[in-house]
């Protein structure tokens, strides 16, 4: 197994200006693993309850996701209910029911302990650490987090960050984590906390990669028919980590391509509710949108400009 | 004269989290012409009052700006007083005194009537039309506007737009002008109103060019030491139009390079108050930041990716 993800699998109830869906497949590990599986073998570690539909498990397996680390426990599956306003910028959480996720103590199957690439989805940093402890020789470790852990579990998060190569945050999280108002200053400060690179996700404004080797900025692919932003960040991380696992490089050119693939996967994820769009997506569509993002962003250097 | 700008020249009083300046040089035509003059000869059409310091006129001339169209009238110079909050996103106007600008009826000197490129700064669309009427054979016409004219002078603005090749707006203005919530849909609608291309300025998130020939997106250059956002949009327009005037092309490759030069000039303008940074700026610094923006945004195509 080249890529391991630990995170949530959820039944989401989501309302956006474009519709309402009840109890649909969601969760960070779900979006991540479906996105990553376009590029590399991926195994997920998560827990679901007795109420979790078998069809969802079969669906994940059909997308090439190794579900050997998916534990079914007594109790209810994690549920999240949220609403997006007109600007689709921010999810307003209406209800969270942790269910079996409340006492989730992941136990990795032998094969997943050999993973070379690890994505620690947005869960309690103490659980992130437990997972990492079980991976024999992690080569590239990436991590997501959120305001709640930054505020309430800062020490545990700091310990995880020292073991992380790549951190995913949004702008507000970057500021909060670094205690810096300016996002560039915040990113530079985060690079002193452990991660060799930090990716600041900016939603409809794209993403920026900061690392000691330089910066890279990519816009979001312009999506006119946006339906539901849920899972965009995890699809982004899945596209990026899946690509890196496939090319076995972490040099800047590979990181840049990975960030673009992340942006591509996120742009598809938001076109429909839940994982509907990812479910019908083909690798050819992924590659075509990669090319479209390149056409959207590339320009001549000055020398070419003068010659033209 | 290859490039003509009509717009405001102002004495600005500006407060940002980084300081306060009283009665400093500002105005759309000021920022535009200084930025454009890095690339091409530029002449400005504007009015100032008896109180306008001669030193400012000499400064503009020293930057290569033709001030033959600068009328000095009885009365006070246009004054604007504004404040930016912590996020530096929005200017809160505290006071506006139109002064001689209230009855400004521009009369173009003979040389400026021969301009090939015209920038109609953000003023009353009826005055924009008067200026355009006086240009003998305009080749490329660009236009800026704002919420006030969209709301109160829509018919006059619509008449101007039919004569415009390139429109500059921010996201809110694009939505308001088009009556479309989605910015991409708004841009497409605007392209039916006259302009062959529309540039949506997104502040710290960069800019997007929409045209029948395709789209182009560029991030803002990451500025850590941002002091004062005033004039960013006009510096952007100046860099873009100056570059287009210098290369005499309006094909997509030239437009892309122009948008990048616009982003470069805007990123410098905001580093200090008023026109302080533009005043010390050199063409070598401009070209270096163009290269830096290229390094920030470029990535391999898929074929190169597979080979690497």
The reply to whether B307 falls in a domain is no
The confidence score (pLDDT) of residue A1 equals 61
Q: Which two tokens stand for residue A87?
A: 């600007």
Nearest chain B Cα to A217, which residue? Answer: B297
Handedness of CA B198, B255, B27, B112 (dihedral sign): negative
The reply to whether A308 falls in a domain is no
Q: Which domain holds residue A277?
A: 3-83+92-298
Cβ–Cβ of B299/A224 closer than 8 Å? no
The confidence score (pLDDT) of residue A248 equals 79
DSSP states of B143-177 as a string? EE--HHHHHH-HHHHHHHHTT-SEEEEEHHHHHHH
Taking contacts as CB-CB distances below 8 angstroms, the residues of chain A near B290 are 302
Q: How far is the C-alpha of B255 from the C-alpha of B240, rounded, in Å?
A: 8
pLDDT tens, residue order, chain A (308 aa): 689 999 999 999 999 999 999 999 999 999 999 999 999 999 999 999 999 999 999 999 999 999 999 999 999 999 999 999 887 878 899 999 999 988 899 999 999 999 999 999 999 999 999 999 999 999 999 999 999 999 999 999 999 999 999 999 999 999 999 999 889 999 999 999 999 999 999 988 899 999 998 999 999 999 888 999 999 999 999 999 999 999 978 899 999 999 999 999 999 999 999 999 999 999 999 999 999 999 999 999 887 655 44
pLDDT digits 0-9 by tens, A194-206 = 999 999 999 888 9
Cβ–Cβ of A253/B287 closer than 8 Å? no
The confidence score (pLDDT) of residue B86 equals 81
Taking contacts as CB-CB distances below 8 angstroms, the residues of chain B near A182 are 224, 226
pLDDT digits 0-9 by tens, B74-94 = 999 999 999 998 878 788 999
CATH number at residue B295: 3.40.1190.20
The reply to whether B304 falls in a domain is no
Taking contacts as CB-CB distances below 8 angstroms, the residues of chain B near A223 are 184
Residue A213 contacts B, CB cutoff 8 Å: no
The reply to whether B75 falls in a domain is yes
Q: How many A×B Cβ pairs under 8 Å?
A: 104
The reply to whether A205 falls in a domain is yes
Cβ–Cβ of A297/B301 closer than 8 Å? no
Name the percent of chain B lying above pLDDT 70: 98
Cβ–Cβ of B297/A217 closer than 8 Å? yes
Task: Give A236→chain B minimum CA distance, Å.
Answer: 17
Cβ–Cβ of B308/A249 closer than 8 Å? yes
Task: Give B229→chain A minimum CA distance, Å.
Answer: 14
Cβ–Cβ of B185/A224 closer than 8 Å? yes
- Find out whether A152 and A125 touch, Cβ atoms under 8 Å: no
Scored b (16 or more CB within 10 A) or e, B106-128 reads bebbeebbbbbbbbbbbbbbebb
Listed by number, the residues of chain B in 51-110 with a beta carbon closer than 8 Å to a beta carbon of chain A are 86
Most A CBs within 10 Å: which of B217, B240, B255, as the mutation test of the A interface?
Answer: B217
Task: Give A193→chain B minimum CA distance, Å.
Answer: 20
Q: Which of B205, B249, B308 is the closest to A205 by Cβ?
A: B205
For residue B25, pLDDT over 50 is answered with yes
Radius of gyration, alpha carbons of chain A: 18
Handedness of CA A251, A254, A257, A258 (dihedral sign): negative
The reply to whether B228 falls in a domain is yes
Chain CA centroid to CA A210, Å? 17
Q: How far is the C-alpha of B287 from the C-alpha of B294, rounded, in Å?
A: 11
Residue A284 contacts B, CB cutoff 8 Å: no
- Find out whether A47 and A101 touch, Cβ atoms under 8 Å: yes
Cβ–Cβ of B184/A222 closer than 8 Å? yes
The reply to whether A307 falls in a domain is no
- pTM for the model: 0.91
Cβ–Cβ of A299/B86 closer than 8 Å? no
User: ipTM exceeding 0.90?
Assistant: no
pLDDT digits 0-9 by tens, B216-229 = 999 999 888 899 99
- Find out whether A5 and A37 touch, Cβ atoms under 8 Å: no
Most confident of the ranges B98-107, B217-226, B290-299: B290-299
The confidence score (pLDDT) of residue A90 equals 81
Residue A191 contacts B, CB cutoff 8 Å: no
Q: State the greatest distance between any 2 C-alpha atoms of chain A, in Å, as a whole number.
A: 69
- Find out whether A49 and A27 touch, Cβ atoms under 8 Å: no
For residue B241, pLDDT over 60 is answered with yes
The reply to whether B305 falls in a domain is no
Total number of domains constituting chain A: 1
Scored b (16 or more CB within 10 A) or e, A249-281 reads ebebbbbbbbbbbbbbbbbbbbbbbbbbbbeeb
Measured from the Cβ of residue A10, the count of other Cβ atoms closer than 10 Å reads: 28
């Amino acid at each position: 197994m080249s890529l391991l993800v630990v995170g949530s699998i959820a039944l989401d109830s989501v309302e956006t200006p474009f519709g309402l869906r009840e109890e649909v497949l969601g969760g960070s590990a779900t979006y991540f693993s479906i996105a990553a599986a376009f590029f590399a073998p991926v195994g997920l570690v998560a827990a679901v309850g007795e109420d979790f539909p078998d069809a969802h498990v079969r669906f994940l397996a059909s997308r090439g996701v190794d579900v050997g680390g998916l534990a079914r426990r007594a109790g209810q599956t994690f549920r999240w209910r949220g609403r997006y306003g007109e600007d689709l910028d921010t999810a307003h959480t209406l209800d969270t029911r942790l269910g079996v996720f409340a006492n989730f103590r992941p136990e990795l199957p032998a094969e997943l302990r050999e993973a070379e690439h690890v994505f620690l989805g947005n869960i309690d940093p103490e659980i992130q650490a437990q997972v990492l402890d079980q991976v024999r020789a992690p080569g590239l470790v990436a991590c997501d987090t959120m305001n709640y852990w930054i505020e309430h579990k800062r020490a545990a998060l700091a310990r995880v960050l020292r073991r992380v190569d790549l951190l995913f945050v949004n702008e507000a999280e970057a500021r909060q984590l670094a205690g810096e108002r300016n996002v560039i200053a915040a990113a530079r400060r985060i690079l002193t906390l452990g991660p060799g690179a930090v990716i600041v996700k900016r939603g409809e404004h794209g993403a920026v990669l900061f690392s000691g080797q330089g910066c890279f900025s990519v816009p979001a692919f312009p999506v006119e028919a946006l339906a539901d932003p849920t899972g965009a960040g995890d699809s982004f991380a899945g596209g990026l980590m899946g690509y890196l696992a496939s090319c076995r490089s972490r040099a800047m050119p590979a990181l840049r391509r990975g960030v673009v693939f992340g942006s591509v996967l996120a742009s598809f994820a938001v076109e429909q509710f839940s994982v509907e769009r990812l479910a019908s997506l083909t690798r050819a569509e992924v590659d075509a949108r990669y090319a479209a993002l390149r056409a959207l962003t590339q320009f001549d250097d000055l020398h070419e400009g003068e010659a033209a």
